[in-house]
Amino acid sequence: MKKVIITGASGFVGTALQNMFTQDGYEVIAVQREQLKDESALLSLVEGSYAIINLAGANIINRWSDEYKKLLYSSRLDTTKAIVNAIQKSQTKPKILFSTSAVGVYKNDKFYDETTTDLADDFLANLCKDWENEALKAKEFGVRVSIFRFGIVMGEGGALGKMLLPFKLGVGGTIGDGKQAFSFIHILDLLNAYRFVLENDTLEGIFNLTAPKPTSNYQLTKALGKYLHRPTFLPVPAFMLNIIFSEGAKVLTDGQSALPTKLLENGFVFEYEDIEKTIKNLV
């Protein structure tokens, strides 16, 4: 039985991946935090594994104090370094390393895809770039590396779960003016993308995990109101988010329009390509 090991497996995406790959007949092993810090324990997991999925990282939605910024970096880069080190030392290396990144690596002024080289230059973008570069080092040891730049993952839990309560109470609304882009992906399309890339051994490099039709925070808000049958006239002022999250509010008040060109060009078919279909399915 082929072995898939997953870091950050207790989260929303990690749990869904565990369930899918188990149903697909893989032996799925969730890596514990203490194992990531134990070189020999991690090596024993990596040895002979078929695929590694690295999802570990502190929650990006938080107040970005200087101390928390260090945690955002260390929880991602230290984990990735440990995995690459274990890959280097393993005798029977995995076929593929899936590492995670985010569309926050892009600027927010136009549409972008995986061919874009003019990336943003702020804290989140630089975190993504450093994280990706660390994972790509595994290529030096003959391992296929695929880096998935996530949009907002929409499913029964995760970000959508946090959005629903105010809308159900009738106090939902846009964030700021609602004009910021909103790149998202339905959890089922995300799961299928992992399966698709895993099973196509010519695919590697950067992939945007986003629906083909990015939308705006305004359109998301209207879709939620429509399918929950609730009003959406109470916007959340941007300054309030800045007070709560400081610089971390950028994750909510900014947005990127990222297109999944590489997946589409390789024949991947999205089941939920727009926000209307996604929200209708989930709520």
Which range of residues forms the domain containing residue 144?
3-154+184-211+258-271
pTM over 0.95: no
Structure tokens at 132: 């990706």
**Under DSSP, is residue 79 helix (H, G, I), strand (E, B) or coil?**
helix
If one compares 174 and 132, the residue with the highest pLDDT of the two is 132
- pLDDT interval class at 127 (50, 70, 90): very high
Go through 187-216 and write b for each residue having 16 or more CB atoms within 10 A of its CB, e for each that does not.
bbbbbbbbebbbeeeebbebbbbbbbbbbb
pLDDT band at 242 (very low <50, low <70, confident <90, very high): low
Q: How far apart are CA 268 and CA 17, in angstroms?
A: 18
At residue 32, does pLDDT exceed 90? Answer: yes
Q: 3-state class of 12 per DSSP? A: helix
Domain assignment present for 251: no
Q: Is residue 56 part of a domain?
A: yes
- The answer to whether residue 236 sits within a structural domain is no
Q: Which helix (H) or strand (E) holds 251?
A: helix 250-253
User: Considering the domain boundaries, does residue 66 fall inside one?
Assistant: yes
Reduced to 3 states (helix: H, G, I; strand: E, B; else coil), residue 27 is strand
**Within a domain: residue 244?**
no
Q: How far apart are CA 4 and CA 131, in angstroms?
A: 21
The token pair at 56 is: 């570990």
Q: Which whole number is the average pLDDT over 127-133? A: 97
CATH code, domain with 67: 3.40.50.720
Does the pLDDT at position 248 exceed 60?
no
Instruction: Please report which confidence band the pLDDT of residue 201 belongs to, taking 50, 70 and 90 as the band edges.
Output: very high
Domain count, the chain: 1
Is 48 within 8 Å of 3 (Cβ atoms)? yes
Is residue 229 one of the residues assigned to a domain?
no
Highest mean pLDDT among 23-27, 56-60, 150-154: 23-27
Mean pLDDT of the chain: 91
90 pLDDT higher than 60: yes
Q: What is the mean pLDDT of residues 17-23?
A: 97
Rounded CA-CA distance 147/52 in Å is: 12
Q: DSSP secondary-structure letter at 104?
A: G
Higher pLDDT residue, 174 or 106? 106
What band does 252 get if pLDDT is binned at 50, 70 and 90? low
Are 134 and 77 in contact by the 8 Å Cβ rule? The answer is: yes
Which run of H or of E encompasses 97? strand 96-102
In a domain, 247, yes or no: no
Residue 137 domain-assigned (yes or no): yes
Answer with the residue of higher pLDDT: 167 or 53.
53
